[in-house]
Amino acid sequence: MSNYDIVVMGAGHNGLTAAAYMAKAGKKVLVLESKDHIGGGVSTRELIQPGFWHDEHSNVHIMIQGNPMLREDELGLLSKFGLDYIYPDLVHVSIWEDGTVIRSYKDLDRTCTELAQTTSQKDADAYRKFVMASKEALPMLMSGMYAPPFPLGAFVAMMDQSDEGRFLLDLMQRSAIDVVNQYFDSDLLKVHIVRMVTENLQMPDELGTGMGAFVMPGIIHTFGCSMPRGGSGSLSKALVRALEHWGGAVRTGATVKRVIVSSGKAMGLELEGGEQIMAKDGVIGAIHPHKLRQFVSETPEPVLQRAERVTQSTFSINLTHIALKENLQLKVGNDCNAMMTELMDFYTVRDMCLEYDKLRRGEVSHRLIAGGDNAIFDPSRAPAGSGVFYGVNFAPYHLFDGGAAAWDTQKEEHADRALAQYRKFYKNLDDSNIFGRLVCSPLDHERGSPNSMVEGDAHGCAPFFYQSAGHRPTPDLGSLRVPEIEGLYLVGPFMHPGGGVFGAGRGTAIQMMDDMGIDYDKVCGAAL
């Protein structure tokens, strides 16, 4: 039996973030990970053959760029622990089969100049106005993303006190399609913006997606869009270095069986083999609400029932990794390579929505694709001149023909159809340029991360309005704590502010320090 101040279940980037902050606060921290490697959804590995480094899940880092963890380098990840982000000028591009291209640069002026030529001067002016409004709202919106959330009712009441707040509250109830229809004429520009929003595993016409359509352009023109040098997993590795610097540790190959609860207090974690690791001050768990009963059966029954009703995202991803003999070449020219690259052969909002409707019906649309060669921006990811392809194909978890179990027999077929679609846009994505391929289906995502990617949902759970702020994932769990289980805290993509790379474990650490009477500002202002 070992004793620590804090033990953490899961070495995903959110758990590592919370662990590193608590270690900096002087706590003795141990992180337990069931896999033989760290990072969870933020990991980069040699999946196909040596020397080719593929991002297992997350690929580009957008939302974390506004986190004080990076902006103020609170953990020293950038200045001391080797994290280095690549920021290309071209952030987001949409490429159509006929060679039409819409580019979003970090530079707003340059973007609007090109938009006037591609769409119209009217839409270019509207886009500038749209982005400026988004940028003005960012400080208020982002101040709450990386801290414990407001209760949803209080948040709504606060927003309802001003015209600006009511404007944002209105956006939160609308769909992305509704928002872009209000501002723009060009279907191509509407599709360009909306496709970026759907990267959050949201349908373009789902109510609540309007805020994404409004916020994302402001974010990319303020912070840009980036990937860590060496791959997405470099963030997780830097967090481990920070954790170890302050005396913390990570133990892999350690599968947690349950949270040890005594007299209503979380006392530690028990491993599958029976080993118990005790914690004096608290336990942090990357426990999906659907799995709460499995790990913490002492949780009050009404809390468990509400947790088990949490809604998963409408669709997932059939992800293709390819090791390439040489870098990919876009037919429109490699000056169009962007951090986010959408590839389309539909030209109207209606046709796009018809493709998304297939996902609702359990069908895979091979036309809903995105991705490219990561080694173009970061040559360290592959041998000289070679490439690593990251290909996203949106797909349902439950297939109409055979359900989720059918993915094992159908994933290669669907990947082949997506590959044929990619070949419309790349000159040299033929068989002769491919060393090897690995396809990861929605079912594979769930198997790889069963306690967080339920139903293949890499973003934890659906980002609907009723599962936002202090109601994410439920009103009971939104405080980042488990009712009537003292000392048990939660992290993960299913917690506030949502899925993706946010560094959201910072909010959990703030809540823990507040409960323990630790001055967060003093900790983060301390010398490294």
Helix-helix angle 210-222:121-143, to 10 degrees: 90
Most confident range (mean pLDDT) of 61-65, 387-391, 448-452 is 387-391
Which residues of the chain are in CATH 3.50.50.60 domains? 1-104+225-528
Least confident of 59-63, 364-368, 380-384, 440-444: 59-63
Surface-to-core class of residue 335, CB atoms within 10 Å of its CB (0-12 exposed, 13-18 middle, 19+ buried): exposed
Return the ∠ at Cα 25 (arms to 12 and 9), rounded to 5°.
25
Query: Residue 373: which pLDDT band, with cuts at 50, 70 and 90?
Result: very high
pLDDT at 71: 93
pLDDT at 76: 97
Decide if 268 contacts 418 (C-beta within 8 A): no
Say yes or no to pLDDT of 143 above 90. Answer: no
SS3 of 21-60: HHHHCCCCEEEECCCCCCECCCCEECCCCCCCCEECCCCC
Q: What is the pTM of this model?
A: 0.96
Instruction: Give pLDDT tens digits for 177-232.
Output: 999 999 999 999 999 999 999 988 999 999 888 999 999 999 999 998 899 999 99
pLDDT at 282: 96
Q: Residues 393-420: what's their mean pLDDT?
A: 98
pLDDT at 528: 55
Helix-helix angle 187-197:349-360, to 10 degrees: 30
pLDDT at 344: 96
**Cα–Cα distance for residue pair 201/498, rounded to 1 Å:** 11
Say yes or no to pLDDT of 456 above 60. Answer: yes
Query: Residue 12: which pLDDT band, with cuts at 50, 70 and 90?
Result: very high
pLDDT at 200: 87
Say yes or no to pLDDT of 18 above 70. Answer: yes
Average pLDDT, the chain: 95
Q: Residues 325-341: what's their mean pLDDT?
A: 95
pLDDT at 526: 62
pLDDT at 1: 54
Where b means 16+ CB within 10 Å and e means fewer, 488-522 reads bbbbbbbbbbbbbbbbbbbbbbbbbbeeeebebee
Question: Which one, of 113, 117, 142, lies nearest residue 128 by Cα?
Answer: 113
Q: Residues 302-312: what's their mean pLDDT?
A: 98
What CATH fold (topology level) applies to the domain 1-104+225-528?
Answer: FAD/NAD(P)-binding domain (3.50.50)
Instruction: Give pLDDT tens digits for 217-257.
Output: 999 999 988 999 999 999 999 999 999 999 999 999 999 99
Cα dihedral sign, 310-312-313-314: negative
Other C-beta atoms closer than 10 Å to the C-beta of 220 total 24
Say yes or no to pLDDT of 353 above 60. Answer: yes
Instruction: Using the structure block, give the residue that is written with the tokens 């069963």.
Output: 450
pLDDT at 527: 54
pLDDT at 3: 80
The phi and psi torsions of 266 (rounded to 5 degrees) equal: -75, 120
Question: Which one, of 489, 457, 491, 496, lies nearest residue 473 by Cα?
Answer: 496
CA distances from 234 to 45, 85, 381, 462 (A): 10, 9, 11, 27
CA distances from 454 to 200, 284, 315, 351, 492 (A): 16, 19, 12, 30, 12
Say yes or no to pLDDT of 2 above 90. Answer: no
pLDDT at 166: 92
